[in-house]
């Protein structure tokens, strides 16, 4: 149990499930960690995890259901947020996209009257999408493209997309006349600011998608499987929804530790821990606000400690 | 006949062929001019022509044999040079590409290790190629794409590519081991600075290409057909090489006036005019150095005057 700072209005919840297997040394050094990651939340957590366990062998399974084709470019927001964040190229100010970014391409596209105007690609970022699109068009699978892009950034983790197949989250909303229509998640999130009631989330292509090479092995063979604080529906949920992945998560011998993405206001979840534990799930309440890298590294360490505890 | 400034080492040659047809009014106002244009030379001439005859209806048939696909983007250097020059967006310093340009995309592509590095696309310019590539991929012919792009620039001319079909000039050179190989004209021009001996020019796809919609009509129905000073092999030659275009040029009732792209050193072509005229081609020696828009407008006026003269 850890102290919670009420001034930060932090509601903390860390979940884990029992796991009988111990690693060879019984220690958490040099361990294999697999992380299912969305965008900003996942990337921020990963930066803390890398600082907390610099010697760990970390595999990140990235959400690709946010992916979208814009201006003929294949854009993978979550993969890129992880890549830029861990590669040192992220805009600290925005949390997404590149630092020291320019916006001339966007300005010109608008001058040509090209739609959509609600999604801005920075000039540096465009280069990433050009490389990706060119490689995809040449027939490389997204996993190979991602590996090639990450090679430049010398990532401290291995980043694999959840699937090489195209999966895109759509949100069913009502249009001005009241008829239902589906919009791409990016349009719902960026243009509509998620302010329009969502009737349904439809993850197009998910039922036919296969896990990318390495995904199932990374889940089966890790020492700890981590679910950082990402959106449970459109980030973690879409990864788990790829046929075969949830099953692999259920079957892995590794402890599975989830860090809640939900931070409440004015109360803490401490009093809920006994209820969760009564359901057979080990839980701890810890501060979860990832305010800086040190704080985030502490959260990651707590998650790994819980994993170690449930193993014993 | 016009004075030639020997200090500028200008060699001047204006060619025309006889044409029996007079326009309805016998004047050169409001006339239909068709121009076969390459890149910088053609665009520079056109700017002078527009100033000299602001009321003319000008159709430009642009060379597309310089076109190249780079980083997955379809780049049309000659069309864009004409578009940017007449649209007011050209870099005056370079003569190609955009003014107020940024180079972040290029910097990033180099950081990713993407080839080729010898062809630099500016950030603003990339937006043009994104629009073009996206429209081409969506099935629009290059002529429709060009019209859409030019719409933004409010061009004082109508710009049509010579063909909607892919035509690319390659240059046969010797490699380091002495074996012959073909390189794209852009590689020969930009990377090799045209300094390597060329064994042959091969215009790939030209034999199967068809003139774009409007090209043959613009040649047949104009009052004057102009060939501005462009490279006779890889600019004007490639346009004339599209099956049907040379034939249309031969058959048009309009006077055809060519402005030589060759400026000699220390001598003038004045003494050669009688020889050219003896071959049945009306010729004039005039200053041909397009130093500024006024000078270029004067050259364009001379060309139109010669057209009027051969009509009478």
Please state the domain count of chain B. Answer: 2
Q: Are residues A112 and A216 in the same domain?
A: yes
Inform me whether the C-beta atom of residue A270 falls under 8 Å from chain B C-beta atoms: no
Chain A residue numbers with beta carbons less than 8 Å from the beta carbon of B112 are 127-128, 131, 149, 152
Supply the pLDDT for residue B183. 95
Chain B residue numbers with beta carbons less than 8 Å from the beta carbon of A137 are 72
CA nearest to B77, candidates B163, B215, B185: B185
Which of B112, B138, B140, B147 to substitute to test the interface with A, most A CBs within 10 Å? B112
pLDDT band at A29 (very low <50, low <70, confident <90, very high): low
Q: Give the whole-number percent of chain A exceeding pLDDT 90.
A: 76
The residues, any chain, with a CB within 8 Å of residue A18's CB and separated by 6 or more, are A255, A280, A282, A310
Which of helix, strand or coil describes residue B14? Answer: strand
Q: Which of B101, B131, B133 sits opposite A112 (nearest CB)?
A: B131
Q: pLDDT per residue over A88-134, tens digit each? A: 999 999 999 999 999 999 999 999 999 999 988 999 999 999 999 99
pLDDT at B308 exceeding the cut of 50: yes
Q: Which of A203, A228, A256 is the last residue of a domain?
A: A203
With CB atoms and an 8 Å threshold, state whether B112 touches A72.
no
Which of A83, A102, A121, A127 to substitute to test the interface with B, most B CBs within 10 Å? A127
Q: Are residues A180 and A146 in the same domain?
A: no
Chain B residue nearest residue A152, CA to CA:
B112
CA nearest to A219, candidates A185, A199, A242: A242
With CB atoms and an 8 Å threshold, state whether B104 touches A102.
yes
Q: Are residues A178 and A305 in the same domain?
A: no
Q: What is the DSSP letter of B91?
A: -
Pure H helices in chain A:
40-52, 77-87, 104-111, 123-137, 142-153, 185-186, 215-220, 236-240, 245-251, 273-278, 293-311
Mean pLDDT along residues A23-32? 62
Q: Are residues A134 and A196 in the same domain?
A: no
Chain A residue numbers with beta carbons less than 8 Å from the beta carbon of B133 are 72
Chain B residue nearest residue A130, CA to CA:
B71
pLDDT band at B172 (very low <50, low <70, confident <90, very high): very high
Chain B residue nearest residue A148, CA to CA:
B112
Chain A residue numbers with beta carbons less than 8 Å from the beta carbon of B147 are none
DSSP H/E element including B62: strand B57-62
Q: Are residues A88 and A113 in the same domain?
A: yes
Residues 40-59 of B with CB under 8 A from A: none
Q: Which of A184, A203, A222 is the last residue of a domain?
A: A203
ipTM: 0.88
CA nearest to B295, candidates B264, B259, B271: B259
Q: Which of B203, B226, B248 is the last residue of a domain?
A: B203
The residues, any chain, with a CB within 8 Å of residue A200's CB and separated by 6 or more, are A171, A172
Q: How far, in Å, CA of B51 to CA of B49, rounded?
A: 5
Q: Are residues A16 and A99 in the same domain?
A: yes
Supply the pLDDT for residue B120. 85
Residues 130-149 of B with CB under 8 A from A: 130-131, 133-134, 137, 149
Q: Are residues B117 and B190 in the same domain?
A: no
Q: Are residues B132 and B228 in the same domain?
A: yes
| Domain assignment of residue B189, given as a range | 168-203
Inform me whether the C-beta atom of residue B127 falls under 8 Å from chain A C-beta atoms: yes
Q: pLDDT per residue over B14-54, tens digit each? A: 443 333 344 455 544 579 999 999 999 999 999 999 999 99
* Contact (Cβ atoms closer than 8 angstroms) between residue B61 and residue B218: yes
Pure H helices in A115-182:
123-137, 142-153
Q: Are residues A106 and A227 in the same domain?
A: yes
Give the distance from residue A266's alpha carbon to the nearest chain B alpha carbon, in angstroms.
45
Q: Are residues B196 and B52 in the same domain?
A: no
pLDDT at A7 exceeding the cut of 50: no
CA nearest to B142, candidates B155, B127, B159, B156: B159
Length of chain A: 312
Q: pLDDT per residue over B256-306, tens digit each? A: 999 988 776 657 677 788 888 898 899 888 888 888 999 999 999 999 999
Q: What are phi and psi of B168, to 5 degrees?
A: -135, 125
Q: Are residues B149 and B43 in the same domain?
A: yes
> pTM here?
0.88
Chain B residue numbers with beta carbons less than 8 Å from the beta carbon of A127 are 104-105, 107-109, 111-112
Q: Are residues B126 and B249 in the same domain?
A: yes
Mean pLDDT along residues A202-224? 97
Q: Which of B105, B113, B137 sits opposite A123 (nearest CB)?
A: B105
């Amino acid at each position: 149990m850890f102290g919670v700072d009420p001034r930060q209005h932090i509601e903390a919840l860390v979940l884990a499930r029992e796991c009988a297997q111990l690693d060879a040394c019984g220690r958490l050094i040099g361990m294999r960690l697999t992380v299912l990651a969305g965008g900003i939340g996942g990337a921020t957590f990963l930066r803390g995890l890398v600082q907390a366990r610099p010697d760990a062998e970390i595999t990140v399974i990235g959400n690709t259901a946010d992916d979208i084709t814009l201006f003929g470019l294949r854009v993978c927001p979550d993969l890129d947020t992880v890549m830029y964040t861990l590669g040192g190229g992220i805009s600290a100010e925005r949390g997404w996209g590149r630092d020291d970014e320019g916006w001339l391409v966007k300005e010109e596209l608008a001058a040509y009257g090209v739609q959509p105007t609600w999604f801005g690609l920075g000039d540096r970022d465009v280069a990433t999408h050009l490389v990706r699109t060119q490689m995809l068009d040449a027939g490389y699978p997204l996993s190979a493209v991602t590996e090639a892009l990450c090679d430049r950034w010398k990532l401290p983790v291995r980043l694999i997309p959840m699937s090489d197949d195209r999966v895109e989250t759509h949100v069913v909303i009502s249009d001005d006349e009241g008829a239902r229509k589906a919009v791409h998640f990016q349009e719902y999130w960026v243009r509509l600011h998620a302010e329009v009631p969502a009737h349904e989330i439809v993850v197009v292509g998910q039922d036919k998608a296969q896990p990318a090479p390495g995904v199932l092995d990374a889940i089966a063979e890790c020492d700890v499987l981590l679910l950082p604080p990402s959106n449970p529906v459109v980030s973690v949920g879409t990864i788990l929804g790829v046929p075969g992945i949830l099953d692999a998560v259920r079957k892995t011998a590794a402890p599975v530790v989830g860090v809640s993405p939900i931070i409440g206001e004015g109360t803490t979840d401490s009093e809920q821990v006994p209820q969760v534990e009564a359901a057979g799930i080990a839980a701890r309440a810890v501060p979860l606000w990832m305010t800086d890298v040190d704080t985030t590294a502490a959260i990651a360490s707590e998650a790994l400690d819980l994993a170690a505890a449930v193993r014993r």
